[in-house]
Structure 1
């Protein structure tokens, strides 16, 4: 998904929640001491970087947005200054501008952009995977009005925990946590009357029938998918936050004129600049909408449909195990447990009746539980600052599946309620 306007499929859902180069004479030469350089050659410092597409904006490859662009902030900044001084329209240097702020963002996050390539696998990227969330929390603690980065740090912890759970078990065939969960569901399904069994959501039945076949190769593939989406989000969101931190409103307004940001995004930044409580809340909603419904929506679709049935099994297991480190937020299975009826019989299953990979139900959970609880936290700085300042390593440890598995299995065996 290349970033000009922020995504290939726009789905806004905010309703209801609110050194100049100067040439002499005829412009034929530029005099530098005793050296004469043709003016056209002097211009090439930026001209070669105009009208470049963002071919790696979706995060699937290594490095920055386009291999024709350098990864040095000084070089990029000098080219930008020259393009601006020459009166070049911002849309012609959009990818150059985006790359500049991306390089600034990764430098400030202590991430090696040149080496950041999801295709290199988990071992080569695990440090960066963690550092992304550390950086979200760093940004929020330095700029408390950056509500979205705080939410990304807290909610991202649950996905990071799941990511490292998979690393722990990917080298052994039994994949214990995943198989135990799938086995427990399979056992419970065998005791469920057929009339009710046929009405269970497909994700639950699939977990019970296919979960035990999950392999280390499946997990490795899924981890790569998570790393791609993580980089995609960073590429889109963090550069604009760094632009605002360094240049204020002018920084993001230039990105808007270049087409890197769309109307929804610039509205969020104008609300952050105004600083009203309502505006800060609405900006958080708009940026979350951009993240979930523009940036990675298509990538979740591809992930859920991959590896035969296993893509869907893994996205559903992520839904079961995922719970953001936001005070008061409900686990997905508590927020939306599965309840079905057939005649006089009813069955309540302590498993979510939705999959995080599905757009509409994911957005429903975010806007009716996760985001409201987070905004309540932000409204009380005395409570929010300690939560957001807690080391990410602690949040990571608290969310590990193998630590939480006994409780999850206990919830399954005691919460599977059949009445007639």
Structure 2
């Protein structure tokens, strides 16, 4: 019943919401769902998960749109060659042993990117669409229940084993009126989203076709740029670093402008969320609500389009180059 109420309030026709189709067909529902998220935050200060999800949804949805359009499929051979060149040059310049410092995702791109087919892209896009709907079904029904009936309704969901003990405690924190508990409760809701709702689905994406999936998830990490104020692009967080001996220069620290991690791995994703995304959003919600509200009321198509990797290639390339550094160790 709550799911029907959510989709009705969102303006979504639940009967035609099929993540097994294409992003082009699901995009209107995605935008309506993320607007619904944002409205919860605009009307209820404590519902920070919803505001954050509404903003970040544009980043990931727009990235998947570019993927589905296939416009960058023609660049995949070049991406594979570039990755192989990076690996080769690191080995030639700093020694073969230093190649071990390079992430497996980069090697997957080097080996598999030029073998990715439109069917592979379609499979990957559909998995992400399944994730988006799964999050909505789980989290929005809880949010609507909380807004309509408060903790009484949430306790009924807990008694019916729809939510677990940790999620019940999270909602008690959200409803507490205490800023520290509100932040903690929203963090636990975010963990439920990332671990319970989509954790296994991201693992399936990364494990797809013996390296093809890992190439796609690593490229997603390379291109991702959350819209929350102050949060770095995924590629700028924990870049590849290693120390090596260079002839004539001695111990040298090398940093490459590529990520050492993969968003699809829960433990690595959660490190980024808890050290960057969550604290910065919480700070903005508490200390700069006017700026946050401007984002939350920006037309969603505008947010979506300004996040598209296709429109941000110069910025992506610039940040990759600027993050590459070589200096004497110490």
Q: TM-score, normalised by structure 1?
A: 0.71
Contact 2:285 2:292 in 1 (8 A): yes
The CA deviation at 1:229 is 0.8
1:396 to 282, 304, 319: 304
Post-superposition offset of 1:189: 2.8
SS of 2:275 mapped into structure 1: helix
SS in 2 for 1:192: helix
In structure 1, runs of 5+ residues without a counterpart are 1-99
Which of 207, 229, 232 aligns to 2:109? It is: 207
Equivalences for residues 102-141 of structure 1 within 5 A: 102-141=3-42
Mapping of 1:48-67 within 5 angstroms? none
Deviations 1:201-252 (A, max 9, x none): 1111222332232222111111000011111111111001111112222221
Displacement after TM superposition at 1:384 (Å): 2.1
Residue 370 of structure 1 and its aligned partner are, at CA, apart by 0.7
Q: Which runs of 5+ in 2 are unaligned?
A: 246-250
Q: State the distance in 1 between where 2:114 and 2:234 align.
A: 22
Aligned counterparts of 1:144 and 1:307: Cα–Cα separation in 2: 44
1:195 aligns with 2:97: yes
Partner of 1:222: 124
CA contact (8 A) 2:240 2:255 kept: yes
Give distance in 2, aligned partners of 1:300 and 1:178.
21
Query: SS where residue 338 of structure 1 aligns?
Result: strand
- Contact 2:236–2:319 (CA<8 Å) still a contact in 1? no
> Counting helix residues as a fraction of each chain, which structure ranks higher?
2
User: What secondary structure, in the 3-state scheme, does the structure 2 residue paired with 1:260 have?
Assistant: coil
Structure label with greater radius of gyration: 1
- For residues 39-54 of structure 1, the aligned pairs below 5 Å read none
Structure 1 counterpart SS, 2:175: helix
TM-score, normalized by length of structure 2?
0.89
Aligned to 2:162, the other structure's residue is in SS state coil
* Residue 366 (str. 1) matches residue 268 (str. 2): no
From 238, 245, 256, the counterpart of 2:158 = 256
| Deviation digits for residues 244-284 of structure 1 (CA, Å, limit 9, x no counterpart) | 11222222121111111111111122222222111211111
Q: Is the 8 A contact 2:59 2:225 kept in 1?
A: yes
Kindly state the Cα deviation for residue 184 of structure 1 after the two structures are TM-superposed.
3.2
Flag the 1:266–1:168 CA change in 2: closer, same or farther, 3 A: same
Provide, for residues 313-365 of structure 1, a one-character-per-residue CA deviation record: whole Å limited to 9, x for no partner: 11111111112111000112222111023444543111111101111111111
2:83 corresponds to: 185
For 1:339, the equivalent position in structure 2 comes to: 241
Instruction: Give me the whole-angstrom Cα distance separating, in 2, the residues matched to 1:177 and 1:394.
Output: 26
- The secondary structure found in structure 2 opposite 1:288 is helix
Match of 2:196 in 1: 294
Q: CA RMSD in A?
A: 2.0
- Partner of 1:120, secondary structure, is coil
Most deviating of 192-201 and 315-324? 192-201
The number of equivalent residue pairs is 318
